[in-house]
Amino acid sequence: MTDHLFLEPEHQMLRDQLRRYIDDRIKPAAEAWETDGMVPRDVLREMGTLGFLGVRYPETFGGSAMDTRATAVLAEELGRSTYSGFAITVLVHTDMASVHLFNAGSDALKARWMPDIVAGRAITAVGVTEPDAGSDVKGMRTRARREGDSYVLNGSKMFITNGVHADLYCVAAKTDTDGPASQGVTIFLLEKGMSGFNVSRALDKHGWLSSDTAELSFEDVRVPATNVLGDEGRGFYAIMQNFQNERIVLGAMAMGEAQSAIDLTLDYVKNRSAFGEPLWKKQAIRQRLSMLAARVAAARSFVYQVAARDAAGDEVVREVSMLKALCGELVNDVMYDCLQFHGGAGYLRGSAIERMARDARVQAIGGGATEVMLEEVAKRL
């Protein structure tokens, strides 16, 4: 499928390199990672060595200095792997966590950590969501108070991707509980091993099984003031700003998942016979798959259009909210029908489509639930 309207040759080169790597290195090994509950760190270091973890970061840190369109290519190809736990492990590191350090960290912090982040030697996580505050960022309860040249953090975070095995955590906490909620959040860089910072538990999920996910706890964790990312009290705006990139990533990832599901199902129905002929001969199946293919093609084009506009510096909050809602729902529609057309075989553990259907369910929840996204759209209609 051509992308010539939105992409440059370097984006297509990135796509080709990713697809070869995923076919050769990831797909043969990733089933074991589902059982292990994590992506091996040597794989992430290998991806760093190949340049896949720094497509948006400057060459001074080992990156490729590309734009939002490269992010969309990366996310789509990782989604096409059929192992979305692997995909989200990478994408949280590249586009949801480390960006806070890059965007707002001091020169000293970036010089210390960004080369290792791009190389895959230091893996990152982002701590925003809490047991009682998901899409409602203003409702967080984790607190940080200033004491001399440090801050002391107390609270907890929930559903943290890479939370068990990360090395660095960009954690949001309330530093002002008296003023407006949007002006009281600050982001801190925490290192694993800081006193009082613990992984409370690893979470057992419905899908994304190869993504390690955790609940984190902070009990009088002392963080140097030099580890504040950006200005005190401006963390809410940083989170909102990166949500645009994050939602483009999730939309592109969902379309990669959806296209792979359609491809797998087309192969299955063209080779599986029922009532004396291949399932593909059934008009209802052909037409439903055709409509799904059309919807995915349209949504995929929308993702790349929005990515191109974001790369050009356009205001795309409305469009990003639209695509996150659209793609999160569409990928689940695709998985429902594709599993249906696989019949009983699709319901068995160990089949690709069964795993993909479980993995896709969270796409309508994480990174901004569909209902929240539609409210963001409605505000701008």
The residues annotated as belonging to the active site are 246
Q: How far apart are CA 13 and CA 29, in angstroms?
A: 24
Strands (E), the chain: 124-127, 143-147, 150-161, 168-174, 185-191, 197-202, 213-224, 228-229, 273-274, 277-278
Lookup: tokens for 21: 């790597």
| 228 three-state secondary structure | strand
Residue 112's alpha-carbon distances to 47, 79, 149, in angstroms, are 20, 31, 20
Cα angle 337, 304, 321 (rounded to 5 degrees) comes to 75
Instruction: Answer yes or no: are the C-beta atoms of 43 and 30 closer than 8 Å.
Output: no
Tell me the DSSP string of 77-125: HHHHTS-HHHHHHHHIIIIIIHHHHHHHS-HHHHHHHHHHHHHTSS-EE
Q: How far apart are CA 106 and CA 115, in angstroms?
A: 14
| 191 three-state secondary structure | strand
Q: How far apart are CA 265 and CA 152, in angstroms?
A: 53
Q: How far apart are CA 98 and CA 122, in angstroms?
A: 10
| 185 three-state secondary structure | strand
